[in-house]
Amino acid sequence: MKSNPRDESPAAGPVQEVDPSLRVAGRGGPAGPARPARRFALFALILGICYAQPLFELVRQAVSASLYSHVVLIPAISAYLVWTQRRRLPKGVSGSPRAACFPLLAGAVIVATNSALRLRGWQPARDDSLCLLMVSFLSFLTGGLLWFLGAKMLRAVAFPFAFLIFIVPLPTVALHAIEVFFQHTSAEAANLFLLLSGMTYDREGQVFRLPGITLQVAEECSGIRSSLVLFITSLLAGHLFLKAPWRKAALTLLVIPLGIVRNGFRIFVISLLCVQVSPDMINSAIHRQGGPLFFALSLVPFFLVSLWLRNSERRRGGSGVPESEG
């Protein structure tokens, strides 16, 4: 039996199966992690609206208090870090509701405890109140990310996400303890500089009796703002330029002795100027507004050590010797 050629389809041939993901995308449905990402973005927007008042208070504090002037930059830095690694983010994502329960519950407990204490008459300092609210905000944000994007995504953006902790103001107890630590250690460093200079002086605790003037190292001389900024910088530099965890830790720990030496050197320079030039130098700009200058000086050894750590890591990698990760 012969077939009629006119009955044959002109486009006869093997049927090609269309990728289901392409068909979904062609109908307008998002492929990959787009839909969970949009849901998380909506969740973050609603959360931001709920926390609008404390977030506004945080921004106002960052503008008015020099200690927290870095806060407004932290979210932008975190977003930039995520953007730079966007091509390495996991493609197939699925939420982890069970893992999200813990941070969501932690955020709820903090909010409930804060509200209950306020109803009982507790009046916290502004920094303490903002600290609790921002910790609860980040807890909810972590829970939302786990719920919609999953633990795999959280691991992929672990550093940028953890970097957001620096929007949280220090509680007054912690702030006072850090200031006292740097106050006393800076006095010891200044004492060492004065001994090396051969200057005649008498010391009693934090008080230095110099020829023609008596200086006291107060908590305001702790240089905590410069040390905090340098600490944040060390974490960021270690993440961007170093691979071995011990090198990153070494760079971060360098901030502590560097901050002590910087503050002690500043006290020594002011003491020297008061003795050699005039006691009125205690009211000069180098004392009142000299912090950025000495901070810039401390960046020199910081960058030198950073460069040495990076170059040594490159040489070790180039020689074929495996770099230790522990």
Provide the pLDDT for residue 157. Answer: 94
* Structure tokens that stand for 197 in this block: 């200079």
pLDDT 10s digit of each residue in the chain, 326 long? 444 444 444 444 454 444 444 444 434 444 455 788 899 999 999 999 999 999 999 999 888 888 888 899 999 999 999 999 988 888 877 889 999 999 999 999 999 998 998 888 888 888 899 999 999 999 999 999 999 999 999 999 999 999 999 999 999 999 999 999 999 999 999 999 999 998 888 999 889 999 888 888 887 777 888 899 999 999 999 999 999 999 999 999 999 999 999 999 999 999 999 888 888 888 877 777 777 888 888 899 999 999 999 999 888 765 444 454 43
Provide the pLDDT for residue 324. Answer: 46
Provide the pLDDT for residue 33. Answer: 58
- With H, G, I as helix, E, B as strand and everything else as coil, classify residue 209: strand
Please, are residues 128 and 170 in contact by the beta-carbon 8 Å criterion? no
Answer left, alpha or beta for residue 212, where phi above 0 means left and psi between -120 and 50 means alpha.
left
Provide the pLDDT for residue 280. Answer: 84
d(CA 315, CA 311): 6
| Cβ contacts of 191 within 8 Å, gap of 6 or more | 203, 208, 264
Closest CA to 131 of 175, 95, 90: 175
- Is 0.85 surpassed by the pTM of this model? no
Closest CA to 33 of 92, 89, 79: 92
d(CA 274, CA 248): 40
